[in-house]
């Protein structure tokens, strides 16, 4: 039964594109001359995308997970290998719901606009295309230097709940395949997700290979890469939570079964009351005879 649920969840992930939360930033600017979306394009500086001197050097993604949403703090370090300053348009794509986006660099708030980006899957040369909503903004990276950009937002935790099993399945995904648009490997990438222990029973059968550690009341999941070129679309954390005992008792019964059980309980109570009355009447008769 559990295997059936996992297979069914896999179909759900494929149907939905399995993309939730946000993604690695992409070099580009909004292309919307014909009312379309945004595609990768040369940055506003002197370089083209093929030999762009700025690249995504490091990223640190920290997320505190709940049962329906995640608070994400993402830090990106952009490095310029050229001698001149370069102004770079950045697209930060999301999937599904995202809110409360804040972006800052050097202590200064960065203003952004909403955009759409056409993403092509990096897995198995499938060529599958997804149109992702996101935000776009511009940064200037000085020559032979680097700029740190910090992004905070609220993302979505996906839930798969079925009466076929006593476990509730959750997953949180981050799109890493978009890093290929920089034409450069990421020097260092670190992912750290935190989840209250009360929401965790075990790792799920979907997701990436995570280091798992319990720290106090929190479960901490980490993945680290160096000189990394992602070959998959997603990094996914999947976990299971056992259904609470009382929920489990009632969740596995249909309404008809519950009503039948209630009727049986009422009959038992009535029989008990009648038995007590019968015993009392019998005692009274015995007392009168005496």
Average pLDDT over residues 42-60: 67
Residue 38 is inside which H or E element, if any? none
pLDDT higher than 50, residue 247? yes
Q: How confident is the model at residue 8 (pLDDT cuts 50, 70, 90)?
A: very low
- Confidence (pLDDT) at 256: 61
Give just the sign of the alpha carbon dihedral 219, 224, 128, 150.
Answer: positive
Calculate the alpha carbon distances from 89 to 92, 135, 159, 252 in Å.
10, 11, 34, 53
pLDDT exceeds cutoff 50 at 9: no
What percent of the chain has pLDDT above 70?
74
Burial zone of 227 (CB within 10 Å; 0-12 exposed, 13-18 middle, 19+ buried)? exposed
- How many residues in the chain? 290
- Mean pLDDT, residues 20-26 taken together: 72
Question: Cα 234 to the chain's mean position, in Å?
Answer: 10
pLDDT tens digit sequence for 140-150: 999 999 999 99
Range with the lowest mean pLDDT among 119-128, 174-183, 264-273?
119-128
Position 33 pLDDT exceeds 50: no
Distance in angstroms (rounded) separating the CA atoms of residues 57 and 130: 25
Token duo for residue 174: 């981050």
What is the pLDDT at residue 276? 86
pTM: 0.75
What is the C-alpha to C-alpha distance for residues 208 and 220, in angstroms, rounded to an integer? 14
Residue 209 has pLDDT above 80, yes or no: yes
238 is written with which tokens? Answer: 């999947």
Q: What is the largest CA-CA distance in the chain?
A: 118
Q: What is the pLDDT of residue 252?
A: 52
Terminal Cα distance for the chain, rounded: 67
């Amino acid at each position: 039964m559990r295997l059936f649920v996992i297979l069914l969840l896999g179909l759900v992930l494929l149907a939905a594109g399995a993309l939730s939360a946000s993604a690695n930033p992409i070099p580009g600017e909004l292309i919307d001359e014909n009312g379309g979306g945004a595609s990768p394009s040369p940055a506003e500086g002197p370089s083209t995308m093929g030999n762009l001197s700025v690249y995504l050097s490091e990223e640190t993604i920290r997320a505190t997970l709940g049962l329906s949403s995640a608070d994400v703090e993402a830090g990106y370090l952009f490095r310029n290998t050229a001698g001149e300053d370069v102004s770079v348009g950045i697209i930060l794509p999301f999937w599904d719901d995202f809110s409360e986006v804040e972006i800052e660099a050097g202590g200064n708030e960065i203003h952004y606009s909403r955009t759409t980006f056409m993403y092509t899957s990096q897995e198995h040369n499938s060529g599958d295309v997804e149109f992702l909503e996101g935000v776009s903004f511009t940064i200037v990276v000085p020559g032979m230097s680097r700029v740190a950009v910090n992004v905070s937002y609220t993302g979505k935790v996906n839930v798969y709940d079925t009466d076929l099993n006593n476990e509730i399945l959750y997953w949180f995904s981050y799109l890493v395949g978009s890093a290929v648009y920089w034409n450069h490997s990421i020097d260092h990438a670190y992912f750290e997700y935190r989840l209250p222990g009360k929401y965790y029973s075990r790792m799920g059968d979907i997701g990436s290979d995570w280091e798992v550690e319990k720290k106090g009341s929190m479960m901490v999941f980490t993945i680290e890469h160096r000189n990394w070129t992602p070959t998959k679309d997603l990094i996914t954390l999947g976990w299971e939570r056992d259904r609470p005992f009382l929920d489990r008792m009632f969740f596995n019964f249909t309404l008809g079964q519950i009503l039948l059980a209630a009727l049986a309980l009422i009959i038992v109570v009535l029989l008990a009351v009648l038995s007590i009355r019968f015993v009392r009447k019998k005692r009274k008769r015995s007392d009168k005879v005496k």
